[in-house]
């Protein structure tokens, strides 16, 4: 019904687990009050989705463009194979956030998580930026196996301590002031959506994770 309608703005009430809301849509704005089911905004192609509540798994699956803004927490595989657009989550996210996300020319995906995330953050990441702000989290706000298979893109983790157990194909260093300034526009948008202070957030310590291009997947190759 939303796809077929000529209206551009929709407000959905009493949402409780309905899947595929906004899938593949362009040029519409959808306000969701409640808890949408899996694959919210899958293949999103330019629409804007705002959720007042929590969201389940696979939001923004393979999205091409647009924005998803969640005033709550979300489940696993947020931004799976995401190709462009932006996802903002006020609270926490589950496992495998940003798995297989990629960029190409002007297509550049961004995921900003306000709280903490589960294991396998940025698994096989090939492009784009993931930012984890760690608001309300104790210790490092990312789980185990962060960056497994990472071969492109960047991650910024706001934390006093670096993630532990990183794979050999990931480089980790404290972000410089210039590097933190490069993500200000995303932090500003997060603050615009959910409140807070960008200067205070960016004055904190961040760790920047990038792929180790000198030795990608070295452990998988046979030495001649």
> Could you report the per-residue pLDDT of 62-115, keeping only the tens digit for each?
999 999 999 999 999 999 999 999 999 999 999 999 999 999 989 999 999 999
Kindly tell me if the per-residue pLDDT of 218 is higher than 90.
Answer: no
> Could you report the per-residue pLDDT of 170-188, keeping only the tens digit for each?
999 999 999 999 999 999 9
Kindly tell me if the per-residue pLDDT of 213 is higher than 90.
Answer: no
Tell me how far apart the alpha carbons of residues 209 and 74 are, in angstroms, rounded to a whole number.
23
Q: What is the mean pLDDT of the chain?
A: 94
Tell me how far apart the alpha carbons of residues 181 and 153 are, in angstroms, rounded to a whole number.
17
Say if CB 93 and CB 115 are below 8 A apart: yes
Is the pTM value of this prediction over 0.85? yes
CA–CA distances in Å: residue 17 to residues 49, 57, 176, 211:
16, 11, 42, 37
Q: What is the pLDDT of residue 215?
A: 57
Backbone angles phi, psi at 190, to 5 degrees: -60, -50
Kindly tell me if the per-residue pLDDT of 33 is higher than 90.
Answer: yes
pLDDT band, residue 224 (cuts 50/70/90): very low
Q: What is the pLDDT of residue 169?
A: 87
pLDDT band, residue 216 (cuts 50/70/90): low
Tell me how far apart the alpha carbons of residues 222 and 224 are, in angstroms, rounded to a whole number.
6
**What residue ranges define each of the domains in the chain, with the CATH number in brackets?**
9-220 (2.160.20.60)
């Amino acid at each position: 019904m939303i796809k077929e309608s000529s209206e551009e703005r929709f407000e959905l009430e009493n949402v409780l687990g309905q899947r595929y809301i906004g899938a593949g849509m362009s040029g519409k704005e959808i306000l969701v009050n409640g808890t949408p089911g899996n694959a919210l905004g899958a293949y999103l192609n330019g629409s804007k989705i705002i959720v007042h509540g929590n969201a389940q798994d696979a939001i923004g699956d393979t999205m091409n463009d647009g924005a998803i803004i969640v005033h709550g927490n979300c489940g696993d595989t947020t931004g799976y194979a995401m190709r462009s657009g932006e996802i903002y989550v006020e609270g926490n996210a589950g496992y495998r956030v940003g798995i297989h996300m990629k960029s190409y020319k002007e297509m550049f995906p961004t995921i900003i998580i306000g709280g903490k995330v589960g294991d396998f953050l940025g698994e096989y990441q090939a492009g784009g930026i993931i930012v984890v702000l760690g608001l309300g989290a104790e210790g490092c706000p990312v789980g185990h196996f962060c960056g497994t298979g990472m071969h492109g893109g960047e991650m910024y983790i706001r934390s006093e301590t670096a993630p532990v157990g990183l794979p050999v194909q990931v480089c980790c260093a404290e972000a410089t002031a210039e590097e933190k300034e490069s993500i200000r526009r995303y932090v500003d948008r997060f603050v615009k959506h959910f409140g807070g202070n960008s200067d205070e957030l960016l004055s904190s310590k961040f760790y920047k994770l990038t792929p180790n291009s000198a030795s990608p997947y070295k452990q998988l190759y046979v030495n001649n």
